[in-house]
């Protein structure tokens, strides 16, 4: 009878063990684009050794959970990633900041607040009007012919989440076809597909696509534009359970103030002329009287010494008043006001995520496809 020995090493409160199926891939750009780095090692103490330090912008986790941290040897800001595809690490505060990563044993217990939000489920939503307005259609699988969904040649804008999708103006993926990266495309005119899409399918994450097959880059303004979550027509609404809420604050704020500080004074103060003259006279008399053979030399030496002493009499007896001036000082302080709330929720067994401008309750309102509604 074979006995399987499993050795786990406790590190930082987590139990780790060699995991043959554990694998993580980091990508240099969001949405799994650019140069990538894949590791099946259970621990990466320092990404510097692999030429990928502070470069990761998206990640794919396979087999088990991984902890990723902003500093070497699992220090700094850390988050635990469940298996799945993470098209952006920006919401975790780890975009271009990951320096170490390690696999987590399946039996390790992790506090909920250490987990990153669940990966966004891949989906594509078509809108009847430009700017994401009008009637919408979110297919749950490959659609060879939009005619069966009553949305043929109707799409004017589209939102892509999680994965790439191929759209074509002919049924069965014929005709003019374009691959859409994750993002919001407020108009399909620039790609020649406005009111012309007839088929759609998800592109495999490992598929290599020629650059000329991609649609033009989506509008950056569309990502920051307010999304229309109003109810469409008579669509039925439901309540979805909120699974996690994370407040995302803005960048550190710089605060400045003015302080009154003393100005250092130079030792080369002004010379007292009356003191110098009086000291020279007294010194000359003393030198003349005590001089030995050469009275003239003694008189001259006494005058010089007396002049130097007299010049400093006023400075020693009357110290100068310190001077002050206004000095501006600045320091960075963490922002206290959330920019938005990163909300994860579950609807019909499917995990979703949305960014909200106000903190939600225990549930949020969604439509039949799990899209938020107000």
Same domain, 355 and 253: yes
Residue 184, domain member (yes or no): yes
Residue 268, domain member (yes or no): no
Q: How many helices (H) and strands (E) does the chain have?
A: 4, 23
CB 215 within 8 A of CB 185: yes
CATH of the domain at 38: 2.60.20.10
Same domain, 361 and 248: yes
Same domain, 167 and 66: no
Structural domains in the chain (count): 4
Residue 322, domain member (yes or no): no
Crossing angle of helices 273-290 and 295-311, in 10° steps, is 150
Same domain, 350 and 254: yes
Domain boundary among 114, 139, 158: 114
Residue 243, domain member (yes or no): yes
Residue 264, domain member (yes or no): no
Q: What residues make up the domain containing 346? A: 232-259+327-374
Residue 319, domain member (yes or no): no
Same domain, 251 and 144: no
Same domain, 292 and 335: no
Check residue 266 and give its pLDDT: 57
Same domain, 23 and 107: yes
Between CA 15 and CA 24 the distance in angstroms is 18
Check residue 294 and give its pLDDT: 52
Residue 321, domain member (yes or no): no
Domain boundary among 61, 89, 114: 114
Check residue 173 and give its pLDDT: 94
How is residue 47 written in tokens? 């990404």
Q: Output the CA angle 324-329-333, nearest 5 degrees.
A: 155
Low-confidence stretches of the chain (pLDDT beneath 70): 1-21, 120, 205-206, 217-228, 249-255, 264-321, 332-336
Between CA 120 and CA 297 the distance in angstroms is 99
Residue 320, domain member (yes or no): no
Same domain, 236 and 290: no
Check residue 221 and give its pLDDT: 47
CB 56 within 8 A of CB 91: no
Check residue 1 and give its pLDDT: 40
Same domain, 212 and 159: yes
Same domain, 45 and 97: yes
* Closest listed residue to residue 153, CA positions, set 178, 179, 128: 128
Same domain, 73 and 127: no
Q: Which long-range contacts (CB under 8 A, 24 or more apart) does 2-10 make?
A: 8/105, 8/107
Same domain, 219 and 253: no
């Amino acid at each position: 009878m074979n006995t399987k020995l499993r050795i786990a090493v406790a590190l930082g409160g987590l139990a780790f063990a060699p995991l043959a199926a554990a694998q993580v891939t980091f990508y240099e750009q969001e949405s799994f684009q650019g140069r990538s780095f894949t590791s099946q090692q259970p621990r990466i103490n320092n990404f510097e050794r692999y030429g990928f330090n502070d470069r990761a912008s998206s990640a794919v986790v396979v087999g088990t959970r991984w902890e990723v941290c902003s500093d070497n040897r699992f220090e700094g800001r850390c988050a635990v990633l469940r298996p799945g595809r993470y098209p952006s690490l920006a919401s975790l505060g780890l975009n271009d900041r990951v320096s170490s990563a390690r696999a987590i044993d399946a039996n390790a217990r992790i506090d909920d607040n250490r987990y990153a939000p669940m990966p966004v489920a891949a989906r594509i939503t078509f809108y009847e009007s430009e700017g994401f307005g009008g009637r919408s259609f979110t297919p749950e699988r490959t659609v060879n012919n939009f005619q069966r969904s009553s949305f043929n040649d109707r799409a004017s804008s589209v939102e892509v989440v999680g994965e790439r999708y191929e759209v074509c103006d002919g049924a069965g993926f014929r005709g003019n076809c374009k691959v859409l990266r994750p993002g919001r495309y407020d108009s399909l005119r620039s790609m020649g597909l406005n009111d012309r899409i007839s088929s759609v399918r998800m592109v495999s994450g490992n598929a290599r696509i020629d650059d000329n097959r991609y649609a033009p880059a989506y509008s950056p303004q569309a990502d920051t534009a307010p999304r229309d979550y109003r109810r469409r027509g008579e669509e039925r609404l439901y309540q979805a359970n909120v699974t996690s809420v994370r407040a995302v604050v803005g960048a550190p704020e710089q605060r400045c103030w003015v302080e009154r500080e003393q100005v250092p004074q130079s030792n080369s103060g002004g010379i007292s002329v009356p003191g110098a003259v009086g000291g020279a006279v007294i010194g000359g008399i003393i030198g003349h009287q005590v001089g030995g053979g050469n009275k003239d030399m003694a008189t001259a030496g006494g005058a010089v010494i007396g002049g130097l002493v007299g010049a400093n009499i006023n400075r020693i007896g009357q110290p100068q008043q310190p001077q002050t001036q206004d000095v501006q000082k600045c320091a960075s302080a963490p922002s206290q006001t959330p920019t938005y709330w990163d909300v994860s929720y579950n609807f019909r067994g499917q995990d979703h995520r949305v960014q909200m401008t106000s903190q939600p309750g225990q549930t949020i309102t969604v439509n039949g496809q799990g899209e938020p509604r107000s």
